[in-house]
Amino acid sequence: MPIRTVETSPFSDQRPGTSGLRKKVKVFQTLNYLENFVQSIFDSLEGFAGQTLIIGGDGRYYNREALQIIIRIAAANGFGRIVTGRGGLLSTPAVSCLIRKRHAFGGIVLSASHNAAGPEKDFGIKYNIGNGGPAPEQLTNAIYQRSAQIDRYLTIDHAAVDLDHIGAYRVGSLEIEIVDPVTDYADLMETLFDFARIKDLFAGGQFSMCFDAMSAVTGPYAREILEHRLGAPAGTVIRGVPLPDFGGGHPDPNLIHARDLVVMMNGTAPPNFAAASDGDGDRNMVLGPNFYINPGDSLAVLAANAHLVPGYAAGLSGVARSMPTSGAVDRVAERLAISCYETPTGWKFFGNLLDAGKITLCGEESFGTGSNHVREKDGLWAVLFWLNLLAAKRQPAEQIVRQHWEEFGRNFFTRHDYEGLDAAKAEAMLDRLRNELAGLPGQRMGAEIVKTADDFSYTDPVDGSVSTKQGVRIVFESGARIVYRLSGTGTEGATLRVYMERYEPDSSAHGQSSQTALAKLIANANEIAGITAHTGRSRPDVVT
């Protein structure tokens, strides 16, 4: 089949963020926009001729069209095989699972994760390397540099591939394999968790659960694993059919966007446990009746109890968290006498640590938790880990967390998001703050005195690469801290994330809410950065 060379011109806005390139659907539909970026990926790689490429997405609007374009470009560039899920569906952790199981050269994930979907909403694309994890900064920088210079892409003329039937097809010399999107991932989960024990938890009829798939990709995975393999009653999984617009909802599993689930769990007769996952299946929120489990606490509890889970019973080599994430897991690592690493935000920073065997568990405050089983955060995996703990301990989730606080103390933590800000004004606010950092130590702010103030920089302990400007940190003599950073996951304007944290060893004070415990720190955060003055916002859009 003849290869066709198409002349094109570069776009100036194709720099990948922390999770790939995310834009509005209409931007990706611009003539040659997606084609340019895909060709820029392939132009930045070496040695893939005849190799396997995994491609899949969360089923959002434009997923199918994008996949067909990528197939044609991959065929023209010399890949030997493409593996994708039926309907083009693959959760992000399932893509990582397949890359590793098939020893693939790499993979392409089509998703904008927790962002809204639909013709007027968001789309995204990112490249994952052969370990199954997101491309490192060196590669994403190369892709961006190539996108700024690209003048042609390669493609072939071929009818659309039938994505809806399992089987093998050919596009020129390229073989296309359509697989069940769930089976390999579900089989992996059975090797990690005690399915017999979890099944027994459901079998008694005394334990109930609700899993909200938010009309996104995790629905089929959750139904197969929870309802079919583990025997949870039909209907345990709600909103389990992936829809191109996610049912008009915002597929972000937090207290705001998973509001219906939160209301249910704070109602008069809630189930014993609840969870939600996001658009592409890599995030999670877990809840007990009238009890929200902070992602930082969740990571710490999983680490402290990993010996109860078959896949981790041999012990943890180490743990890692992103810098803004609660330091709760640090205290567990100290007790276990294992290393704890603090990385920038972005799952790719965990990849080297996992590959080098330095860590087993890792997590971010943005509802992401994972382990060395894949190289992406994994929402359903985290939920199964919690179910394994509930089955082993036979205690409610709240009791498990409160006992953890009794033993390790509580890290009160909150994140305030200011969304849709003018990007220039948000950058100017942080630049002003950076310029003032040197003068902050020693200053008194209410009852707190600033101990240190810096802009977080990270040197990778494996390859020595350096990442700078990863978040402004204000640390007080009490150990409390405030972190400011701009998110790289949005498609419009800028999102300012402000993180506040304070450690409380006194168990008699653990019962208060995070917002109450951190009220003075929240006021300090606004004053230090001048958030209201610079943005005009008197309150955040999302509080978690």
Task: Identify the helix (H) or strand (E) that includes residue 81.
Answer: strand 81-85
The fold for domain 185-408 equals: Alpha-D-Glucose-1,6-Bisphosphate; Chain A, domain 3 (3.40.120)
Structural contact between residues 160 and 68, judged by C-beta atoms closer than 8 angstroms: yes
Structural contact between residues 392 and 308, judged by C-beta atoms closer than 8 angstroms: yes
Fold equal for 4-181 and 185-408: yes
Q: Which two tokens stand for residue 502?
A: 């304070």
User: How far is C-alpha 217 from the chain's CA centre?
Assistant: 14
Residue corresponding to tokens 């130590």: 441
Instruction: Give the CA angle between residues 129, 130, 133 to the nearest 5°.
Output: 50
Helices (H), 238-327: 259-265, 295-304
Per-residue pLDDT, 488: 57
Exposed / middle / buried, residue 6 (Cβ in 10 Å: 0-12, 13-18, 19+): middle
Q: Which two tokens stand for residue 109?
A: 């994930």
Per-residue pLDDT, 530: 85
User: Strand 167-171 vs strand 174-179: parallel, antiparallel, or unpaired?
Assistant: antiparallel
Per-residue pLDDT, 489: 54
The fold for domain 4-181 equals: Alpha-D-Glucose-1,6-Bisphosphate; Chain A, domain 3 (3.40.120)
Structural contact between residues 192 and 102, judged by C-beta atoms closer than 8 angstroms: no
pTM, 2 dp: 0.94
CA distance 147 to 34: 11
Q: Which residues participate in catalysis according to the annotation?
A: 113
The fold for domain 410-543 equals: TATA-Binding Protein (3.30.310)
Domain boundaries, the chain: 4-181, 185-408, 410-543
Look at residues 162, 148, 139 and name the one whose alpha carbon lies nearest to residue 37: 148
Q: Residues with Cβ < 8 Å from 544, sequence gap 6 or more?
A: 254, 255, 256, 367, 414, 415, 417
Longest Cα–Cα distance in the chain: 73
Q: Which two tokens stand for residue 312?
A: 């981790």
Of the chain, the end-to-end C-alpha distance in Å amounts to: 53
Q: In the chain, which stretches have pLDDT less than 70?
A: 488-492
CA distance 188 to 376: 14
Single-letter amino acid, residue 409: G
- Phi and psi torsions of 280, nearest 5°: -105, 5
Instruction: Give the CA angle between residues 155, 160, 164 to the nearest 5°.
Output: 135
